[in-house]
Amino acid sequence: MDADKVFKALGDPTRRKLLDLLHDRNGQTLGELCEHLDMARQSVTQHIGLLEAANLVTTVWRGREKLHFINPVPLHEVYERWVRKFEHQRLTLLHDLKKELEGE
């Protein structure tokens, strides 16, 4: 995983919206995605390109249609590397606090 590319891709609200759209209905064409955004098709294509470079979006050709699918694996890797370890510490502290307050 190239974490820099993933964080760069997630750093833009338009790209996050594209991921939300694909989460809601996976396998959309560029035209379908453009319907929900107030920008030129070329701009959406550039955003999709950055999501593909970060491996957050994959594409499949179905006849003449290019379908876009969300790839959750890089997000899971970011969670495992950057979120989970902090979550563990927080939960341990809450558990210890609970035990202290309850006199265990």
67: left (phi over 0), alpha (psi -120 to 50) or beta: beta
- Spatial neighbors of 34 by CB under 8 A, at least 6 apart, are 41, 44
Burial class (CB in 10 A: 0-12, 13-18, 19+), 93: exposed
**Do 30 and 44 contact (CB within 8 A), yes or no?**
yes
> What's the full length of the chain, in residues?
104
- Taking only the tens place, the pLDDT of each residue in 24-40 is 999 999 999 999 999 99
What is this structure's pTM? 0.81
pLDDT tens-place string over residues 5-64: 999 999 999 999 999 999 999 999 999 999 999 999 999 999 999 999 999 999 999 999
